[in-house]
Amino acid sequence: MMGMFAGRLGLQQRVLPSYRAPFFEMLAAACEGGLGVFAGMPRPGEGIASASLHSAQHFMAHNVHLLGGPLYLCYQRGFTKWLQSWNPDALIVEANPRYLSTPAAARWMHGCGRKVIGWGLGAPATGAWSAIRRSGWRRFLQQFDGLIAYSRRGAEEYAALGFPRERIFIAPNAAAARPVDRPVHEPLGEGPQTVLFVGRLQARKRVDRLLRACAAMPEPRPRLLIVGDGPELGKLEALARQAYPEAEFAGARHGEELEPYFVAADLFVLPGTGGLAIQQAMAHALPVIVAKGDGTQDDLVREANGWQVPPEDEQALVTVMRSALSDAGRLRKMGDESFQIVRDEINLEKMVEVFVRAINSV
């Protein structure tokens, strides 16, 4: 049973993507004083479709984008002024040290005797300068009264930096509500099976590898549906004409527009980083192949419902896809497992439940 937060909640995001709207609306319904979301616009070329909110209120931030690539920073003008206006009883912010306006907002909240919770993937600090990065993360996390992690791995990363475990909450990332009825997929006949990708078409999604992997499949080669838009669209269409002309580019689709694509699919593949579309696919009773990434995949994808492949190993993707598409009956059983995981464990209702528990706990 979902609990309630008796006060008014503020929530900061760099941008307000359309896939987050259902979560914010559901969270708003659990806040007796309402939910205000402070978020700005994406950078040109990011290909992020912005959402419109109804139950929650969206307050526009002025995002100042600084530098780029691994040095990217963002300053959100008007954050403290918005806090003074919205006057929330608690604040949730993205736990990302690249967002330069967060410390001032946290100081304002603490000056009013109110709590601030960070929400994020975790605190990765690997590679060169890892010791310095870990030290920076420790200082950054000290400003929070609690943390909400996307995954168990993220929670462990926060705890490893000394943040108290009793103030870390795990809310597996979700974009779909708890499904009620299992979707009915088209019967598997003698023809080719359908492979689906849904997401922003950007380099880190590695859709180029999916095109080449499909080209390496035995006859009858699968039907490939690519749903999304983004900066890599032109390059991918050119690659498809050369490597896999059978690929179908459906463009950007959101909400109910995605339904026929999920229903038509037999297998969902995400060869690069990302995660929310995985949970949506599982809610539609699809087995999944994903690249190992930030830890959200570990909670979603298990031996019973899918496969994880090394992110830089294209041959591993080919091998796993060959195996997956060789047994249609197994795909249906694995799809049933996906459906049960989303129905019982990882969905928007569970996510909101954890957020409310975290707010009430701190």
Q: pLDDT > 90: what percent of the chain?
A: 71
The predicted-structure confidence for 69-107, as pLDDT tens digits, reads as follows 888 999 999 999 999 999 999 999 999 999 999 999 999
pLDDT < 70 positions in the chain:
1-2, 47, 125-132, 186-190, 275, 294-296
Cα–Cα distances in Å, from 18 out to 47, 174, 255, 263? 11, 13, 9, 21
Output the pLDDT for position 123: 87
Transcribe 333-358 into DSSP letters: HHHHHHHHHHHHTSSHHHHHHHHHHH
pTM here?
0.86
Do domains 9-174+347-361 and 194-344 share one topology? The answer is: yes
Alpha-carbon distance 321 to 195, whole Å? 10
The predicted-structure confidence for 200-230, as pLDDT tens digits, reads as follows 898 888 999 999 999 999 999 999 999 998 8
Output the pLDDT for position 11: 98
Transcribe 201-223 into DSSP letters: --GGG-HHHHHHHHHTSPSSPPE
Output the pLDDT for position 93: 98
Mean pLDDT of the chain: 91
- Would you say domain 194-344 falls under CATH 3.40.50.2000? yes
Output the pLDDT for position 133: 73
Alpha-carbon distance 335 to 305, whole Å? 6
Structure tokens at 111: 């000056």
Q: Give which of 204, 192, 163, 198 is closest to 70, Cα–Cα.
A: 204
**Domain locations in the chain as residue ranges:** 9-174+347-361, 194-344
Structure tokens at 299: 């909670």
CATH topology of domain 9-174+347-361: Rossmann fold (3.40.50)
